Amino acid sequence: MARPRRRPHRGRARGRVAARGDGPYTAGERPRAAGRAAADHDCRAATAVAISTPDPKRRKVRVPRSLPDRSRVQPYSRADAPYFRSPGFYVRVGGLAILIGGAICILVLRAWSIQVLHGKQYTSQANLQSFRTVDIPAPRGAIVDLKGRLLAETRGKIVVVADVGALGALDQHGWAPTPVGYAAIRKLSRLAHVPVATIVTRIQRSVIRSPFAPAVVLPSPDNALTNYLDERGADFPGFKVTGQPARQYPQGGIGSEYLGLLGEVSQVELGMPRYAHARPGVIVGQSGVEATYDALLNPGFTRAKVRVDSLGRIAGPLERLGNLHSLPTLQLTIDARLQRAAIKAVQDGMALARQNGKHPTGGSAVVMDPRTGAIYALVSSPDYNQVRAASDQKYAASLYTDPSHPLLDRAIAGVYPTGSTFKPITAEAALSTGIITPTTPLLCSGSFNLGGFVFHNVEAGVFTTMSLPTALAQSCDTWFYRLADRIYAADPAKQAISIQQWAHKFGLGQQTGIDLIGESGGLVPTPAWLNSTQHQPWTEGQTINLAIGQGMLQASPLQVAVVYAALANGGTIVTPHVARAVIRGSATRLLHFKPARKLKLTDVWAIRQGLYDAAHTPGGTSASVFANFPIPVAGKTGTAEAPPYDDHSWYASWAPFGHPKVVVVVMIEHGGFGADAAAPAAKEIYQAFFHVK
Longest dimension (CA), the chain: 184
Report the distance separating Cα 193 and Cα 669, nearest Å: 42
Report the distance separating Cα 346 and Cα 650, nearest Å: 12
Q: Residue 366: which of 503, 512, 506, 582 has the closest Cα?
A: 512
Report the distance separating Cα 397 and Cα 673, nearest Å: 36
Helix boundaries (H) for 113-163 = 119-130
* pLDDT given for residue 51 in this prediction: 45
* pLDDT given for residue 321 in this prediction: 62
Question: Using a CB cutoff of 8 Å and minimum separation of 24, what contacts does 63-72 make?
Answer: 63/21, 63/24, 64/24, 67/24, 71/24, 71/26
Answer for the pair 436, 430: CB distance below 8 angstroms, yes or no: yes
* Positions in the chain whose pLDDT score sits under 50: 1-35, 37-39, 41, 43, 45-51
Q: Which residues of 426-440 are buried (b: 16+ CB within 10 A; e: fewer)?
A: bbbbbbbbebbebeb
* pLDDT given for residue 234 in this prediction: 86
What is the per-residue DSSP string for 518-532?
T----B---HHHHHH
* pLDDT given for residue 165 in this prediction: 79
Answer for the pair 567, 612: CB distance below 8 angstroms, yes or no: no
Tally of CA atoms within 13 A in the half-sphere of 279 that contains its CB: 12
600 Cβ neighbours under 8 A, 6+ residues apart? 571
Read off the amino acid at residue 24: P
Question: Using a CB cutoff of 8 Å and minimum separation of 24, what contacts does 522-530 make?
Answer: 522/415, 522/553, 522/554, 522/555, 522/556, 522/559, 523/415, 523/552, 523/553, 523/554, 524/500, 524/553, 525/500, 525/551, 525/552, 525/553, 526/497, 526/500, 527/495, 527/497
What is the per-residue DSSP string for 574-633?
---BSEEEEEETTEEEE-----SEE---SSHHHHHHHHHHHHHSTT-TTHHHHTT-SS--
- CA distances in angstroms from 653 to 128, 201, 502, 610, listed in the order given: 65, 54, 19, 12
Report the distance separating Cα 370 and Cα 362, nearest Å: 25
* pLDDT given for residue 25 in this prediction: 43
Report the distance separating Cα 597 and Cα 192, nearest Å: 58
Q: What is the pLDDT of residues 72-97, one digit of tens each?
A: 555 655 666 666 667 877 788 888 88
Answer for the pair 332, 289: CB distance below 8 angstroms, yes or no: yes
* pLDDT given for residue 17 in this prediction: 41
* pLDDT given for residue 46 in this prediction: 47
CATH code 3.30.160 for 133-254+305-329: no
Answer for the pair 333, 579: CB distance below 8 angstroms, yes or no: yes
* pLDDT given for residue 10 in this prediction: 46
Question: Using a CB cutoff of 8 Å and minimum separation of 24, what contacts does 172-176 make?
Answer: 174/204, 174/207, 174/208, 175/203, 175/204, 175/207
What is the per-residue DSSP string for 46-77?
HHHHH--S--TTSPP-PPPSS--TTTSPPP--
Q: What is the pLDDT of residues 628-637, one digit of tens each?
A: 999 999 999 9
Report the distance separating Cα 106 and Cα 206, nearest Å: 49
Q: Hey, which bits of 271-423 come out as E strands?
A: 283-285, 301-308, 314-320, 329-332, 362-368, 375-381
Global confidence as pTM = 0.78
* pLDDT given for residue 312 in this prediction: 58
* pLDDT given for residue 65 in this prediction: 59
Report the distance separating Cα 307 and Cα 291, nearest Å: 36
* pLDDT given for residue 49 in this prediction: 46
Distance of CA 681 to the CA centre of its chain: 37
Answer for the pair 361, 173: CB distance below 8 angstroms, yes or no: no
Beta bridge partners of 444: 464
Q: Residue 373: which of 251, 507, 501 has the closest Cα?
A: 507
Judge if the upstream peptide bond of residue 576 is cis by omega within 30 degrees of 0: no
Answer for the pair 544, 481: CB distance below 8 angstroms, yes or no: yes
